[in-house]
Structure 1
Amino acid sequence: MVDPRGPRFSAAVTSVVLTVVLLTANGWLLLAQTVVFLTGAVIGVRRAPYGVLYRTLVQPRLGPPAELEDDQPPRFAQAVGAVFGVLGTVGFLADVPALGYVATAFAFVAAFLNATIGFCLGCQIYLAIRSVKGAQA
């Protein structure tokens, strides 16, 4: 279970990082962001770098959350971000900038939606997949 404000904070930081990537076509910075995505997907959003920043620097100033949410949808969203991050990194580092820009833009839009209006696209995909699997069972 996670404080839902944590993934939203992480999405805001991610949006800033991805904006810099889009402005500079820096594949190495995108690779670093992809490692952050992978960390969140594998060990959980609370223990990923931006989650640690949130818990140590931001959350103590906010007080306890009104509710907690399951960490599986945000972890799935991080995995989706990692896929786009890998594609974008390959694009920028292999001198295929169109791939780099398109993949980074998709990741940016998803992060920006979460940061600004709290809509987690990857989480919604996760829930849709679960509902389809549940309907098939």
Structure 2
Amino acid sequence: MDIDVRGPRFGAAVTTVVLAVVLITGNVWLLAWQTLAFACGMAGGVGRSPYGWLFRRVLRPRIGPATDFEAPEPPRFAQAVGLVFTVVGLVGFALGPDWLGLAAIGAALAAAFLNALFGYCLGCEMYLLLRRMTVRTG
């Protein structure tokens, strides 16, 4: 079943704020929260992430029905990519080196920002590229 495209963009906007705060403060607990949010989005789809739940329960009833939809697989893959970056960030901040955490979270922040502001999902594009490559070779 296709998903409302506004949901992942909302999640990306919240993620952008969370990751920006993590970069500014170095708060490992907030980064752990974001890692959990990515894990939920990867395991159950973006609708099952905390930000997807918030969008579905609070925001969507106020903005009306969806007019644009997308397949759930690319955003779910993007959540997995975000999870990898936040796990690397957690390792960098918790065990060192700090630059590893900063670089990983900076990259994740850039991806979330692009999705939130421009609707360009790097993880989704990676998914589509990988699908094209596997269809041609497989």
Q: TM-score range by the shorter chain?
A: over 0.9
Indicate the residue corresponding to 2:39 in structure 1.
38
Q: How far off its partner does 1:94 sit?
A: 1.1
Q: Is 1:12 matched with 2:22?
A: no
User: How large is the RMSD of aligned CA atoms in angstroms?
Assistant: 0.8
Percent identity over paired residues: 53
TM alignment of 1:1-137, pairs within 5 A: 1-137=2-138
Alpha carbons 1:21, 1:29 under 8 Å: kept? yes
Structure 2 spans left out of the alignment, 5+ residues: none
Q: How far off its partner does 1:32 sit?
A: 1.0
CA distance in 2, matches of 1:108, 1:59: 24
Secondary structure of the residue aligned to 1:81 is helix
CA distance in 2, matches of 1:115, 1:35: 19
Q: How far off its partner does 1:102 sit?
A: 0.2
Structure 1 spans left out of the alignment, 5+ residues: none
Matched residue count: 137
Q: How far off its partner does 1:26 sit?
A: 1.4
Q: How far off its partner does 1:6 sit?
A: 0.1
Q: How far off its partner does 1:27 sit?
A: 1.7
Amino acid at match of 1:59: R
Amino acid at match of 1:75: R
* Consecutive aligned runs of 4 or more in structure 1 exceeding 6 Å deviation: none
Q: How far off its partner does 1:89 sit?
A: 0.5
